[in-house]
Amino acid sequence: MRTRLFATAALAATSLFFSATAQRPGSETTNVFTPEMKFFDRPDPRIAEYEQAQRGGTPVRQIGAVELSPDGKKLAWLVAAEPTAAGGGRNGRGRSGMQLHISEALAPNPTEPAITAGEGCSSSAPRWSPDGQTLAFVATCADGQPQLWLRSTDGAVKQLTHIKGTLTSPAWAPDGSSIAFLYVENATRSAGALAAMKPPAGIVGQDGVEIQWVAAADAHTGNLSILTPKTLHAYEYDWAPDAKHIAFVASNPPGENTWWIAQMYTAPAGQPDAAKSILNPVTVGGSLHGLQIAVPRYSPDGKNIAFIGGLMSDQGSTGGDVYLMGADGNGLQNLTPGRKDTPVYLGWADPDHILFSAYQSGKTHLGILGTNKTEVLQLWTAQQSVASGRAAASFSFSTTAKIAAFVSAGPEQAPEVYIGTTHGANAVTHLNTNATKPATKTLSLEWDNEGYHVQGWLTLPENYDAAKKYPMIVSVHGGPSAQAGPSFGGAGAGLYAHLGYFYFTANPRGSFGQGEAFVQANRKDFGYGDLRDILKGVDTVEKQYSVDDHRLGLTGWSYGGFMSMFAITQTHRFRAAVAGAGISNWQSYYGENSIDQWMVPFFGASVYDAPEAYAKSSAINFIKNVETPLLILVGDRDGECPAPQSYEMWHALKALGKKTELVVYPNEGHGFSNPLHSQDRTARTIAWFEDNMK
């Protein structure tokens, strides 16, 4: 659950905490929702000490996106600017601190003048025209409105669009005539459920619904056309090679709720009302039945469409098997049945071969798959991440040069640009050769439990001494169809290591990385088999390292928040727990949110048809078993895991006299946007563990 929308009840709990008055021009004083909160007043001084130590070293230069030119000779990329002296200018960095450059693909160099739409503008999503002569990119300037800009070979930069709304995922038409993108006209928020939801008003599900279309801007005039029906919410799309059709994944609005039942459509360019469904996972038979689809890609000859299909918790958290069908929807087949890893992203190498990335037990794998279901070449497998700025584990590929570009990092490998060929992949930048290394080690561990092979990550305390005993924080990732992957320094674990903790994150059943059967292994079983996998992982750690089993802490956000609530009703092994954006009662949750469609694939039926399946995994039904002190954190406008779920857990524990505390953050969604709230969340979490795990 990284994407879950909210409904009429989402503000119910928070209204108990916050109220204020405001004066509207020309009106009487009216009660409105203007929340405020008191920040935590005793943050651990070692947090500031850790942050200061991070700033004192050689910083890592982040790389935001990479995009190969069609001939594979040039690379457009976003890279963090060099630190500037106090009072120094932005030098084209924009508010994001990232600069857009064009470099030689095999020797990227960020010293070239940055490409920018102007002072104070941030750039993203670089895209080469099919002839490689023009670079399109998205720029967001002082007004906060993203627009498409073009940079020609003579260095001239001009604005192409003048829209009002969201603009994401641009893609040139193969004939270079236009640039398509996902567009929400007059949007008031980002599409999807991560951002804070609008307060409900009017007829829920009808008033204020914002629909995302595929639009296209003429590459010469900027004139806008809509390529998909205005009645459908589009999530992803791809151009046919002849530029006369598009394939797109879409569903009826509201889009936050219906991605889980989205269909594949095709439409002639310029004729959105002629769109037709060519694949409906809800009604199709075979292994794809009832699952989700993502990353549609036309073959170079336009005859076929490949895509990822599987049990996915959220749009954007893609994983499953590689499927293939004709461009008319006929001949559907699974190209990767029974694989022991999770394909995530793909692109065609030629009409008979597909380049794909996959999560593989703590590693990322790049391979070439034949349409005959045979992997013909294993290009690269490493305990590192893969990203290009497009999507999860994405890469940029030049069919002409037969090379791929991506950004990669690992537990001890700082981010660099890599170029992959049939001979493997190697770093072509050395921006972070001298970057300060993590002060501790992060290791990949693997274990077996109940017939499943499980992988996880362990970060050791700073200056680890095997003769001493250390407490350990167990963190559960969101999803559940997701994974904790390799990252430089161990993704958020550094602070805990500095404070003298082990930090352990498992990828239990339900996670990506071990094949689709593993992902589906916790259907109708939330909180049981996955918890046993995690506890077996804790046992595995304790056999190898000096962990104080009497000082174990548990935490997580989203699905990890649910697990932090539910696990303490099933075991007393944890001395303290912190649940972020959790779910305490699947039965009431079903009726509180506006995204109930995601739940049917996981629970097998709606709550009205199978209430026992939802009751089985609801912490509230085992609440009297709780002995572990629980801190609960949530945003008041969280659309994925509505605040009433946190309130219900807190209320039950308070009524039973258990140690608990609930903190609701105003104007926050599932992903926090206010850095002060993020800092406060960290401070409270650390204090809770320190106070309860002495």
Contact between 277 and 265 under an 8 Å Cβ cutoff? The reply is yes
The answer to whether residue 86 scores a pLDDT higher than 60 is: no
Residue 267: pLDDT over 60:
yes
Backbone angles phi, psi at 597, to 5 degrees: -65, -25
Cα dist from 44 to 9, 483, 555, 659, whole Å: 35, 30, 18, 21
Rounded to a whole number, what is the distance in angstroms from the first to the last CA of the chain?
Answer: 32
Q: What is the mean pLDDT of residues 266-291?
A: 97
Q: How far apart, in whole angstroms, are the C-alpha atoms of residue 76 and residue 70?
A: 11
What would the pLDDT profile of 93-140 be if each residue is shown by its tens digit?
A: 333 478 999 999 999 988 888 999 999 899 999 999 999 999 999 999
Q: CA–CA separation, 567 vs 574, rounded Å?
A: 9
For residue 529, give the H/E element and its range.
helix 529-544
Give the pLDDT confidence score for residue 24 in this predicted structure: 32
Q: What is the mean pLDDT of residues 62-84?
A: 88
Interval 393-409: pLDDT, tens: 999 999 999 999 999 99
Can you give the pLDDT at residue 6?
Answer: 29
Q: In the β-sheet with 363-370, what is the strand arrangement from edge to edge?
A: 342-350, 353-360, 363-370, 375-382
Q: Which of 180, 277, 205 is nearest to 5 (CA)?
A: 205
- Segment 325-335, tens digit of pLDDT: 999 999 999 99
295 backbone φψ class: left, alpha, beta (φ>0; ψ -120 to 50): left
Would you state the pLDDT for residue 53?
A: 82
User: By three-state DSSP, how is residue 667 classified?
Assistant: coil
CB 170 within 8 A of CB 148: yes
Mean pLDDT of 293-308: 98
Angle, vertex CA 663, rays to CA 624 and CA 193, nearest 5: 100
Tokens standing for residue 8? 């009429």
Q: Rounded CA gap, 588 and 9, in Å?
A: 10
Residue 601 burial class via C-beta count within 10 angstroms: exposed 0-12, middle 13-18, buried 19 and up? buried
pTM of the model: 0.92
Q: In the Cβ-directed half-sphere of 490, how many Cα atoms lie within 13 Å?
A: 27
CB of 534 closer than 8 Å to CB of 559: no
* Nearest one of 314, 305, 158, 311 to 235, comparing CA atoms: 314
Per cent of the chain over pLDDT 70 is 92
Q: Which of 10-24, 71-85, 446-460 has the highest mean pLDDT?
A: 446-460
**Buried/exposed code over 42-78 (b: 16+ C-beta within 10 A; e: otherwise):** ebbeebeebeeebeeeeebbbbbbbbbbbebebbbbb
Find out whether the peptide bond into 59 is cis, omega within 30 degrees of 0. Answer: no
- The Cα–Cα gap between 577 and 630 comes to 5
Confidence of residue 599 (pLDDT cuts 50, 70, 90): very high
| Sign, CA torsion 295/299/305/309 | negative
pLDDT at 480 > cutoff 80: yes
Q: Which pLDDT score is estimated for 286?
A: 96
* Residues 6+ positions from 415 with CB-CB distance below 8 Å: 60, 61, 62, 63, 407, 408, 409, 431, 432, 488
CA–CA gap between residue 566 and residue 559 (Å, rounded) = 10
Write down the pLDDT at residue 694: 85
Please calculate the CA angle 467-472-473 and round it to the nearest 5 degrees.
Answer: 165
Q: Which residues pair with 376 in a beta bridge?
A: none
* pLDDT for residue 295: 98
- Output the CA angle 111-117-119, nearest 5 degrees: 80
Segments in 388-437 forming alpha helices (H): none
Question: Across residues 460-481, what is the average pLDDT?
Answer: 97
Range name among 230-244, 432-446, 500-514 with the lowest pLDDT average: 432-446
Tokens 């007059």 belong to 186
Average pLDDT over residues 519-529: 97
13: helix, coil or strand?
Answer: coil
Cross-strand bridge partners of residue 368: 355, 377
pLDDT of residue 88: 32
Q: Please, which pLDDT band fits residue 560 given cuts at 50, 70 and 90?
A: very high
Residue 256: pLDDT band by 50, 70, 90 thresholds? confident
Segment 220-231 shows an average pLDDT of 98
565 CB-side CA count, 13 A = 35
Please report, for residues 515, 588, 661, the alpha-carbon distance to residue 316 in angstroms, rounded to integers and kept in the order given. Answer: 18, 26, 32
Q: Which pLDDT score, from 0 to 100, does residue 200 have?
A: 76
Whether the predicted pLDDT of 56 surpasses 80: no
The Cα-based distances of 424 to 212, 364, 368, 382 in angstroms read 39, 13, 12, 11
What is the predicted pLDDT for the residue at 610? 96
pLDDT interval class at 59 (50, 70, 90): confident
pLDDT for the residue numbered 18: 29
- State residue 193's pLDDT score: 64
Cis peptide before 108 (omega within 30 of 0): no
Is residue 117 within 8 A of residue 104, CB to CB? The reply is: no
- Residue 151 to residue 133: CA distance in whole angstroms: 9
Mean pLDDT for the chain overall: 90
Cβ atoms of residues 445 and 508 within 8 Å = no
Task: Report CA Rg, the chain.
Answer: 25
What is d(CA 581, CA 651) in angstroms, rounded to the nearest whole number?
Answer: 15
pLDDT over 90, % of the chain = 81
Q: 310-345 burial, b if ≥16 CB within 10 A, otherwise e?
A: bbbbbbbbbbbbbbbbebebeebebbbeebebbbbb
pLDDT tens for 367-393 read 999 999 999 999 999 999 999 999 999
Q: Are 366 and 357 in contact (CB under 8 A)?
A: yes
Burial state string for 527-550 with b = 16 or more CB within 10 A and e = fewer than 16: bebbbbbbbbbbebbbeebbbeee
pLDDT tens digits along 307-318: 999 999 988 889
Round to whole Å and give the CA distance between 222 and 167. Answer: 14
- DSSP state string for 155-193: S-EEE-----EEEEEEEE-TTSSEEEEEEEET-SS-SSS
HSE, side-chain direction, 13 A CA sphere, residue 440: 26
Residue 467, H or E segment? none
Rounded CA-CA distance 34/42 in Å is 25
314/45: higher pLDDT: 45
* Alpha carbon distance 684, 576 (integer Å): 13
